[in-house]
Amino acid sequence: MAAKKWVKFPHASSDFDYAGSKLSKAWPRLHAGDQEPFPDKKHVAALQKKHPALKDCGDADAVAAAMQEAWRDFHRGEFQKATEAADALGVIAATIANKAEGIYATYLAREADRVGHFEHCAKRAEAAIKAMPDDANAHYFHAFALGRYSQCISITKALAQGLGGKIKESLERTLKLSPAHAEAHTAMGLYHAEIIDKIGALIGGMTYGAKTDTGIKHFQEALKLTPQAPIAHIEYGNGLLMMFGKKRSSDALKAYQDAVAIEPVDAMEALDIEEAREELED
């Protein structure tokens, strides 16, 4: 990304300390939503053996240690540091860089900078898909980046550019590779909700296959898989309002309240919960 001043995480980073073995112990909770494997030496070596594009990325032990440290930076809210450290490792660490830059762009980046961040994430994801075509999060963060980019430029404009099909394809691929990927289920729910909200259920269904029942099904699957993930509740609430309006406003309110009641385990969740609080105050 071109040199721009990144906004700092507005809370205490020390609240989310995963030094040493704390990271691996907390990993199942931290990564329940994205199903990312813990990057130990064995995992890194297996990736290097499987994908020729990764063979020159460095010693597996050193790469694993560096990836773990970059994840610690992410969970603390040091998003710029995590992104730059991951980018220095190359495509093998694309998921770290995309999650760090993507969450930063979603919540903290200046509005003028957001589109550029999401474009950068999408290109990084495309490189990851090329290098690791069976990596679920390479596909997921491609969809994530294009989805957030679409929200920046307007959903109707994004659909006119053909981005809807690309997002859906990447999410379908993610879920085929990782059926328990809760964040992809949430994103798929949003795909249906956004289209229904912007162009209506009839045209949305005929043109893009968007259906309220399918959207709800994906939101509820995400909640079932990750009941402690604030974002699953928040986006469910958002989706209900997009698809049903005031008819489901009380259910949406309950979803935001459920999100706020969760104790955040990292910087991302703290920012998610902050968003839910703002929804409740509106």
Q: Where are the domains of the chain?
A: 185-282
- The three-state (H, E, C) secondary structure of 233-255, written as one string: HHHHHHHHHHHHHHHHHHHHHHH
With cut-offs at 50, 70 and 90, classify the pLDDT of residue 177.
very high
What does the angle CA 222 – CA 227 – CA 228 come to, to the nearest 5 degrees?
125
Residue 142: which residues within 8 A CB-CB, separation 6 or more? 122, 125, 126, 128, 129, 166, 170
The owner of tokens 């085929």 is: 176
- 38-97 residue pLDDT tens: 999 999 999 999 999 998 888 999 999 999 999 999 999 999 999 999 999 999 999 999
CATH fold of 185-282 reads: 1.25.40
Phi, psi torsion values for 275, nearest 5 degrees: -65, -45
> Is this model's pTM higher than 0.85 or not?
yes
Query: What does the alpha-carbon distance between residue 118 and residue 152 come to, in Å, rounded to a whole number?
Result: 9
Which pLDDT band holds residue 2 (cuts at 50, 70, 90)? very low
pLDDT category, 12, cuts 50, 70, 90?
confident
In this structure, are residues 44 and 68 in contact, taking their beta carbons and an 8 Å threshold? Answer: no
Mean pLDDT of the chain: 94
